[in-house]
Structure 1
Amino acid sequence: MTRKSGIDGATNDGAAAYRRMRRVAAALLVAMAILFLIARLLADRHPAWGFVQAFAEAAMVGGLADWFAVTALFRHPLGLPIPHTAIIPRNKDRIGTTLATFLRDNFLTPAVVARRMAHVDVASAMGRFLAAPPARGRLWKGASRLAADVLESLDQERLGGMVKTALAQRLREVNVAPMLGQALTAAMAEGRHAPLLDGIVRWAGRTLDANTALIHAMIHERSGALMRWTGLDATLADKIIEGLDKLLNEMIEQPDHPLRVKAEEGLARLAEDLQHDPVMRERVQSVKAEILDNPAVEQWWLGMWEQIRAGLLRMVRDPGDAISGKLGEALRQLGETLQHDVMLQRTINRFARRAAVGIADDYGDGIVRLVSDTIQGWDAATVTLRLENAVGRDLQYIRINGTLVGGLVGLLIHLIDVAL
């Protein structure tokens, strides 16, 4: 037979253990009664049976008293409406309120949550989980199925439009000109603009090589008849091409070439204007708005979102494959960082502590009311059954201990009586 899992399984296990211990306690009480009868019948044959009788008699009294006390918590003993019995069913609502108050005062006040969270290292726990994620674990699989169901249930076109609108709105609000200017200034300060200039010059050289015939044709058309008849137009075109090619090569080979210096000065002025010139800023904003309003960009947004969505679906459908790829490597690196970066740990733990305190402050009373209302909404039989299954096993130990301790007390009293 397969054992049930979850709350039902735990309830069934508790009920079975409770029934076992109840049978043991009852069997012990019956054994004491039988022992008492045997000792009573044999009391005249030997004085030792008097001690046995005293032990069994007191054990029966102790066992019966504890049986009555334990039973009175949950029901009327033998079905008799004895006062102050069936305590739990009669006080169900008060128990729910008391339990909720206990939960609030000891677990859900901001001060208590902050004190307990101060000793919880959330960052390290996250780091250990990410460094060795259980790709085949129940939690990971459940989260993957939930994420896949959510992604598949959402309207693709509407969600893509929402993503596009949100991103576009965010980009419209961002003033990109100062950021571009700062990035350009930083790149020039570190010499990272040099490859860009070299690339532009090389592109100009390749363009010149690819259009030599066009330059010859332009000069030929604009030359007079004498120059065309003597061939000077072709010579002039060759000299122009040769001069431009030499100029471009010199700009590549000489970092301090005058034209290159002029280009760098122009980049520096551009960086300054991007950061401080209102006219330049407005011009950049206008260009950005035109780009965002372009239908081609809108289609690009939608296509990009669909690619992201498809990638997310592939990842959540096969979390093991995702973890073994680049994403998994990034998560493992993050996990290692969380375990060893003290400053990052402190930041995350502080955030987790503040979040938990905020939840307790905002929703603590609601959780308390939920517990109280839930218990008060249960019928008395349900409350009795659940509490009895939860703590009944331990209460049966009270019956067993009461039987044995009562017997020992009776034996001690009989010993004192004989001695006197």
Structure 2
Amino acid sequence: MSSQNDVVDHPDGVTASADAEKLAALRRTKLAATTILVCCIGLFAAARLLEASLPGLGFVAAFAEAAAIGGIADWYAVVALFRRPMGLPIPHTAIIPANKTRIADNLGRFIEANFLAPGPIRAKLGEIDFAAMVSDWLADPKRSDGLARFITRLAPQAADAVEQSGLPRFLAARMNDQIEQVRLAPLAAELLGAVTAERRHQRLFDELIVALGRFLNDEQALAVMRDRVRDELPTLAGLFRADAYLVRKIVASAGMLLDEARDDPDHPLRLEFDRFVARFIEQLRTSPDYAARAERLKRDFLARPELSRMAEGLWQGLRAYVIEDAGRPNSRIREHLSGLLVNIGSQLAVDPKVRADMNAGFVAMLASFIDSQKSGVATFVAEQVKSWDLDQLTRIIEINIGRDLQYIRFNGMIVGGLAGLALHLGDLLLLAD
């Protein structure tokens, strides 16, 4: 336990030095107040002794007497805050030590209600540009590279933790459930509708024309056609090679028709193709039969064991790549991540909207955290104050506000002296009447 004259120990030398200065100033003020009080008592005694020969000293005696009484009373009031005056067990003295528990609890509640209230906290947090600090930090390549190295070192452990937690299987199951809820036929209709907008499906028709053209120019295909035509013709027609003639005419007519369709955007074949595609899309959108077929196809696809093995293989491949790359000195993941972090910092610096959103997020997150923990902070403050040594607690308070309290003694002597003069003057006036 420290003595009253010891400076409170602090780990911070600057704080200890400041407390030493406060303690020295407090001692000087106490000495001055006590000296003036002693002077008032001495002045009162001297004035009373000489009052008989010098009646005017009655005013001096009245002032000094009242000043001494006021000074003693205020000395008592100030001392009673911190300790028992002259060690006497006088009731309602040593107020601060006697009420340490109540002071600690009230201080904790005061901090919780006034310093940690949501309004002031949000207002104070709103003055801080968190996004700018994050931007400046990330824009430094060395810092971003250090952060990327740290994240990369954690990658293997993170991958193992993810696998052991069953997260991949959970995600796969959730994805399967979500796909199950998707109606495939209307979705396919919407996709095809987007593809056919502005007749973009005519490119498919162009590819069909090219494919048919190649077919008509293929000698093997033409030979098959001639054989089929020969089989359908009478034997007599085969003697005149009518099959070859018919095939040439068919091929020539078909070629001309394809050339016309290729060059004419409004050719009847193209228009018929438009109608066919439109009918097919509408059937996909509305037909129960198409919807049932699409759902069966979807369920059959999702039930395939190959799909599960493929998903598992993808995860294992990704995990192996991450672990292997993270162990390399020139990790590609680390390099890309470092560049990404620097780019994020640079972009954040020039995007006021993103900065505002980020700052709002920081304020909401920190304010919510502080609001959830403020009761704990108040309890912590109260427990810390309760754990302080009584002499230490008294010493801390006295060092910080004791000098101002000593001025109460000066004021008490001045006010008391003036009151004594007023009473003495009133007494003389009443006696004169």
Which residue does 1:90 correspond to in 2?
101
**2:27 is equivalent to residue 30 of structure 1:** yes
Give the SS at the match of 1:154: helix
Aligned counterpart for 2:162 among listed residues 154, 164, 172: 154
User: Which letter does structure 2 place at the counterpart of 1:90?
Assistant: T
Q: 2:203 aligns with which of 198, 217, 239?
A: 198
Task: Identify the residue that residue 404 of structure 2 maps to in structure 1.
Answer: 401
2:228 equivalent to 1:222: yes
| 8 Å CA contact 2:348, 2:355 repeated in 1 | no
Q: Check whether the contact 1:160–1:306 (CA below 8 A) recurs between aligned residues.
A: no
- Rounded to whole Å, the distance in 2 between the matches of 1:338 and 1:101 is 32
Q: 1:322 matched to which residue of 2? A: 340
Q: 1:32 to 1:232 in 2, by over 3 A?
A: same
C-alpha displacement of 1:155: 1.1
**Residue aligning to 2:183:** 175
Are 1:21 and 1:396, in contact at CA under 8 Å, matched by a contact in 2?
no
Shift of residue 286 of structure 1?
1.7
Which stretch shows the higher mean deviation, 136-145 or 86-95? 136-145
Larger radius of gyration: 2
What is the deviation of 1:299? 4.5
User: Does the alignment pair 1:290 with 2:300?
Assistant: yes
Identify the residue that residue 9 of structure 1 maps to in structure 2. none
Q: What SS class does the counterpart of residue 86 from structure 1 fall into?
A: helix
Aligned-pair identity (%): 14
CA-to-aligned-CA distance 1:78-100 (integer Å, 9 cap, x gap): 9x996644356534885498469
Letter in 1 for 2:403: I
1:256 match: secondary structure: coil
1:266 matched to which residue of 2?
276
Give yes or no for contact 2:74–2:409 (8 Å, CA) kept in 1.
Answer: yes
Question: What SS is found at the alignment partner of 1:179?
Answer: helix
Separation (CA, whole Å) in 2 of partners of 1:31 and 1:133: 50
Q: Would the aligned equivalents of 2:189 and 2:285 in 1 still touch at CA under 8 Å?
A: yes
| Cα distance change, pair 320–38 in 1 and its aligned pair in 2 (3 A) | same
Q: Tell me, yes or no, if the aligned pair for 1:29 and 1:60 is still in contact at 8 Å.
A: no
Q: Deviations 1:149-170 (Å, cap 9, x if unpaired)?
A: 6455321794333322221211
Answer yes or no: is 1:279 the counterpart of 2:289: yes
Q: Distance in 2 between matches of 1:301 and 1:102?
A: 54
- In structure 1, C-alpha distance between the alignment counterparts of 2:306 and 2:244, rounded to whole Å: 44
How far did residue 264 of structure 1 move? 1.5
Q: Deviations over 1:227-282 (max 9, x none)?
A: 99987766665655555454444334322222222222122222222222222111
- Using a 3 Å threshold, how does the CA distance of structure 1 residues 239 and 204 change in structure 2: closer, same or farther? same
Worse-matched range after superposition: 410-419 or 200-209 = 410-419
2:132·2:349 contact (CA, 8 Å) conserved in 1? no
Q: 1:37 to 1:246 in 2, by over 3 A?
A: same
Instruction: Output the aligned Cα RMSD.
Output: 6.4
Secondary structure of 2:200's aligned partner: helix
The two structures have a TM-score, normalised by structure 1, of 0.58
Aligned equivalents of 1:186, 1:24: Cα separation in 2: 81
Question: C-alpha separation between the residues in 2 aligned to 1:64 and 1:142?
Answer: 66
* Deviation (angstroms), 1:135: 1.7
Q: Distance in 2 between matches of 1:224 and 1:164?
A: 59
Matches within 5 A, 1:7-406: 19-32=16-29, 69=81, 84-86=95-97, 89-91=100-102, 94-95=105-106, 98=109, 102=113, 107=117, 132=135, 134-135=137-138, 141=147, 145=151, 148=155, 150-151=158-159, 153-155=161-163, 158-185=166-193, 188=196, 190-191=197-198, 194-202=199-207, 205-206=210-211, 208-209=213-214, 212-222=218-228, 224=230, 240=250, 243-302=253-312, 319-323=337-341, 328=344, 335=351, 370=376, 378=383, 382=387, 384=388, 396-404=399-407, 406=409
- Determine if contact 1:145/1:317 at 8 Å carries over to the other structure: no
Cα 1:102–1:177 change in 2 (3 A) is same
Q: Is contact 1:251–1:257 with CA below 8 Å preserved after alignment?
A: yes
Q: How many pairs does the alignment contain?
A: 370
CA distance in 1, matches of 2:404, 2:269: 101
In the alignment, residue 170 of structure 1 is paired with which amino acid? Q
- Residue 119 to residue 243, structure 1, CA distance change in 2 (3 Å): farther
> Partner letter of residue 321 of structure 1?
G
Per-residue deviation at 1:213?
4.0
SS of residue matched to 2:225: helix
User: What is the rounded CA distance, in whole Å, between the counterparts of 2:395 and 2:410 in structure 1?
Assistant: 23
Q: CA deviation at 1:172?
A: 0.9
Paired residue type of 1:285: E
Whole-Å separation in 1 of the counterparts to 2:172 and 2:413: 85
> Shift in Å at residue 173 of structure 1?
0.8
Q: Identify unmatched segments of 5+ residues in structure 1.
A: 1-11, 45-53
Q: Distance in 2 between matches of 1:207 and 1:88?
A: 102
Partner SS state of residue 321, structure 1: helix
Alpha-carbon deviation of 1:320?
3.7
Structure 1 position 285, deviation (Å): 1.6
Please list the CA deviations of residues 268-326 of structure 1 after superposition, one character each: whole Å capped at 9, or x if unmatched: 2222222222221111222222332334444554466568877899778864411456x
